[in-house]
């Protein structure tokens, strides 16, 4: 299975054949993300631990084998992100959060868990670099609002709850500009 989908709409209709996703539509980039992370998210959608009205129906009919196959396929893709330009002051604020955190508000640097350049660490800590800013914002807001709850030990809930709306904008803008791990998770 190479992203052609099963039952629901084909994956490529939203995520693209190469997994590039779409910023305007809020479809995440899947290319180059760790296969174990992608598979875990698909099982979570299928079993209702991660809820989203657009994505959940597409995972509902996937078998374990199809999940492994499609995750391996997108993990191997390498799209060169062409991020939209972002204001310099926002980027500077975002860079600080990613590398240094915000200790006054007990926010640990994102790189502590997501690795140098936020390129991801294994199946647990997904790469954030080169991800679409609209999707990054959606996820941080989802944790803040309590609509994404599938993170291990509520590690992300604890972070997102402390981020201001401005910090969410800034960190999403900055992360979107960073180079991805290039399909070698």
Instruction: Give the integer Cα–Cα distance in Å for 105 and 91.
Output: 19
Binders of ligand HEC among 69-128, rule CB under 6 A? 70, 97, 107-108, 110, 112-114, 124-126, 128
Helix intervals (H) in the chain: 11-15, 35-46, 56-59, 64-76, 88-100, 110-114, 133-145, 155-160, 165-177
Residue nearer to ligand HEC on the CB measure, 20 or 42? 42
Q: What is the distance of C-alpha 69 from the center of its chain?
A: 19
Is 185 a residue that touches ligand HEC (CB under 6 A)?
A: no
Is 16 a residue that touches ligand HEC (CB under 6 A)?
A: no
Residue nearer to ligand HEC on the CB measure, 17 or 80? 17
Backbone dihedral region of 151: left (phi > 0), alpha (psi from -120 to 50 degrees) or beta?
A: beta
Helix, strand, coil percentages, rounded to 5, for the chain:
50, 5, 45
**In the complex, minimum distance from the CB of residue 126 to ligand HEC, in angstroms, rounded to a whole number:** 4
Q: Is 114 annotated as a binding residue?
A: yes
Binders of ligand HEC among 127-166, rule CB under 6 A? 128, 136, 138-140, 150-152, 155-156, 159
Are 127 and 181 a contacting pair, CB within 8 Å?
yes
Find the binder of ligand HEC among 31, 35, 38, 79 (CB under 6 A).
38
Backbone angles phi, psi at 133, to 5 degrees: -60, -35
Q: Is 15 annotated as a binding residue?
A: yes
Q: What is the distance of C-alpha 2 from the center of its chain?
A: 20
Residue 149 tokens, joined: 């709850």
What is the binding site for ligand HEC (CB under 6 A)? Answer: 5, 8-9, 11, 13-15, 26-28, 30, 33, 38, 41-42, 50, 52, 54-55, 58, 70, 97, 107-108, 110, 112-114, 124-126, 128, 136, 138-140, 150-152, 155-156, 159, 171
Binding site as annotated, residues for heme c: 11, 14-15, 55, 110, 113-114, 156
């Amino acid at each position: 299975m190479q992203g052609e989908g099963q039952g629901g709409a084909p994956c490529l209709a939203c995520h693209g054949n190469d997994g590039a996703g779409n910023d305007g539509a809020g479809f995440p980039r899947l290319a180059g993300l760790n296969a174990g992370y992608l598979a875990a998210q698909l099982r979570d959608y299928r079993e209702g631990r991660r809820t989203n009205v657009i994505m959940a129906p597409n995972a509902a009919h996937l078998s374990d084998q199809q999940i492994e196959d499609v995750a391996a396929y997108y993990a191997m893709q390498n799209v060169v992100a062409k991020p939209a330009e972002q204001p310099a002051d926002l980027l500077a604020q975002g860079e600080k959060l990613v590398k240094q955190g915000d200790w006054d508000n007990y926010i640990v640097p994102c790189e502590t868990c997501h690795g140098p350049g936020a390129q991801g660490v294994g199946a647990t800590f997904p790469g954030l670099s080169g991800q679409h800013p609209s999707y990054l914002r959606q996820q941080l807001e989802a944790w803040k609002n309590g609509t994404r709850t599938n993170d291990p030990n509520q590690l992300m809930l604890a972070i997102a709850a402390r981020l201001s709306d401005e910090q969410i904008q800034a960190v999403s803008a900055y992360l979107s500009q960073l180079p991805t791990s290039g399909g070698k998770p």
